[in-house]
């Protein structure tokens, strides 16, 4: 059941700069989440290399990051960086989205960066210039491309799900 908040649907969307700063801060915090999940996996499996059990590691990291985001969004509509930058996720009516919608939002948010990563890899392979692979660090910022075309400046996954980021 969604939590009711005092938010109004008329709250403006945060600027791209604030969302970008929030995203960079998220990356810093995610280092701890990824480190802890990887440490637990390495301890339990006695693996000595990040390439050992690579696909299991990727699945566990995807789940660990997902739990971090979904649980943060579910309890307050915000992660710590979102609180810092006064950004909150909300339904169109201003309430906090339900758990299933938040899980779907997390999964859909991966689509655009993964497509960007595949495009970078394809360009690198087609050109024969391996250094182009370094551009992969910019793949997450491909999320912002849709905001230039959206009438409210929202991300594509938010537009598809009927959620939105609002300034609080």
Q: Show contacts of 24-29: CB within 8 Å, 24+ apart.
A: 25/80, 25/81, 25/84, 25/85, 26/79, 26/81, 27/140, 29/79, 29/80, 29/81
User: Is residue 123 in a domain?
Assistant: yes
User: Is residue 132 in a domain?
Assistant: yes
Q: How much is the pLDDT for 8?
A: 45
User: Is residue 6 in a domain?
Assistant: no
User: Is residue 26 in a domain?
Assistant: yes
Evaluate if pTM is beyond 0.85.
Answer: yes
Tens digits of residue pLDDT in 85-135: 999 999 988 899 999 999 999 999 999 999 999 999 999 999 999 999 999
Tens digits of residue pLDDT in 60-92: 999 999 999 999 999 989 999 999 999 999 998
User: Is residue 100 in a domain?
Assistant: yes
Hey, is 164 helix, strand or coil?
strand
Structure-block tokens of residue 101: 């919608």
User: Is residue 126 in a domain?
Assistant: yes
Q: How much is the pLDDT for 5?
A: 46
User: Is residue 8 in a domain?
Assistant: no
Q: How many domains are contained in the chain?
A: 1
The domain containing residue 40 runs over which residues?
16-167
Residue 49: pLDDT band (50, 70, 90) is confident
Residue 1: pLDDT band (50, 70, 90) is very low
């Amino acid at each position: 059941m969604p939590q009711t908040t005092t938010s109004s649907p008329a709250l403006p969307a945060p600027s791209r700069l604030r969302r970008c700063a929030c995203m960079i801060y998220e990356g810093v915090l995610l280092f701890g989440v990824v480190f802890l999940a990887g440490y637990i996996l390495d301890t339990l499996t006695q693996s000595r290399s990040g390439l050992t059990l690579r696909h299991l590691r990727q699945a566990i990291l995807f789940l660990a990051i997902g739990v971090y985001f979904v649980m943060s969004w579910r309890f307050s509509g915000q992660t710590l960086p979102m609180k810092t930058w006064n950004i909150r996720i909300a339904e169109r009516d201003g309430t906090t989205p339900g758990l299933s919608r938040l899980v779907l939002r997390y999964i859909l948010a991966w689509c655009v960066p993964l497509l960007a990563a595949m495009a970078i890899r394809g360009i690198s392979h087609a050109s024969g210039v391996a250094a182009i692979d370094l551009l992969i660090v910019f793949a997450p910022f491909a999320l912002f491309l849709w905001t230039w075309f959206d009438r409210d400046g929202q991300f594509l996954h938010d537009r598809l799900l009927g959620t939105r980021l609002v300034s609080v």
